[in-house]
Chains A and B, each alone.
Chain A
Amino acid sequence: MKFTLNIWRQPDAVTAGKIHTYELDEVSEDMSFLEMLDVLNEDLNAKGEEPVAFDSDCREGICGSCGLMINGEAHGPEVTTTCQLHMRSFKDGDSITIEPWRADAFPVIKDLVVDRGAFDRIIQQGGYISVNTGAAPDAHATPVPKDKADRAFDVATCISCGACVAACPNGSASLFVGAKITHLGELPQGQAERDTRVVNMVAQHDHEGFGGCTNIGECTAACPKEIPLDVISRLNWDLHAALRHGK
Chain B
Amino acid sequence: MAVSGLIFIGFVLTHMYGNLKAFGGHDSFNEYAHHIREFGEPILPHEGALWIIRVALIVSLVVHVACAVALWRRAAKARSVKYVVKKSKASSLSSRTMRWGGITLLVFIVWHLLNFTIGKVNVQGGATDDPYNLMVDSFDVWWLTLLYLVAMVALGMHLHHGVFSAAQTLGLTNNDKARRNAKAAGALLAVVIAGGFSLVPIFVLAGVITK
* A joins B in a complex: yes
Q: Which residues of A contact B (CB under 8 A)?
A: 6, 8, 19, 69, 71-73, 97, 99, 102-105, 167, 169-172, 209-218, 220-222, 228-230, 232-240
Q: Which 3 A-B pairs have the closest CB atoms?
A: A237-B171, A171-B78, A221-B90
**Given A214-B71, A232-B168, A233-B172, residue A104 in contact with residue B77 (CB < 8 A):** yes
**Given A212-B74, A233-B179, residue A169 in contact with residue B171 (CB < 8 A):** no
CA distance A170 to B164 in the complex (A): 17
Given contacts A214-B98, A232-B168, A233-B167, 20 further A-B contacts (CB under 8 A): A69-B85, A99-B83, A104-B79, A105-B78, A170-B75, A210-B78, A212-B70, A212-B74, A214-B71, A214-B95, A215-B164, A215-B169, A216-B95, A217-B90, A217-B91, A220-B90, A228-B176, A230-B173, A233-B179, A236-B171
Chain B residues positioned under 8 Å from A69 (CB to CB): 83, 85-86
- The one of A19, A72, A211, A235 in contact with B79, judged by C-beta atoms closer than 8 angstroms, is A211
Q: Which residues of B contact A (CB under 8 A)?
A: 70-71, 74-75, 77-92, 95-96, 98, 161, 164-165, 167-176, 178-179
- The one of B98, B168, B179 in contact with A236, judged by C-beta atoms closer than 8 angstroms, is B168
**Given A170-B71, A230-B178, residue A215 in contact with residue B168 (CB < 8 A):** yes
CA distance A23 to B92 in the complex (A): 36
**Given A97-B84, A102-B83, residue A211 in contact with residue B173 (CB < 8 A):** no
Question: Could you tell me the distance in whole angstroms from the C-beta of A204 to the nearest C-beta in chain B?
Answer: 14
Taking a contact as CB atoms under 8 Å apart, the answer to whether B78 and A99 are in contact is: no
Residue of B nearest to A182 (CB): B174
- The one of A6, A19, A218, A228 in contact with B88, judged by C-beta atoms closer than 8 angstroms, is A218
Residue of B nearest to A165 (CB): B78
Question: Could you tell me the distance in whole angstroms from the C-beta of A43 to the nearest C-beta in chain B?
Answer: 23
CA distance A69 to B70 in the complex (A): 27
Chain B residues positioned under 8 Å from A103 (CB to CB): 78-79
**Given A99-B83, A211-B71, A221-B90, residue A233 in contact with residue B168 (CB < 8 A):** yes
Taking a contact as CB atoms under 8 Å apart, the answer to whether A99 and B89 are in contact is: no
Taking a contact as CB atoms under 8 Å apart, the answer to whether B84 and A99 are in contact is: yes
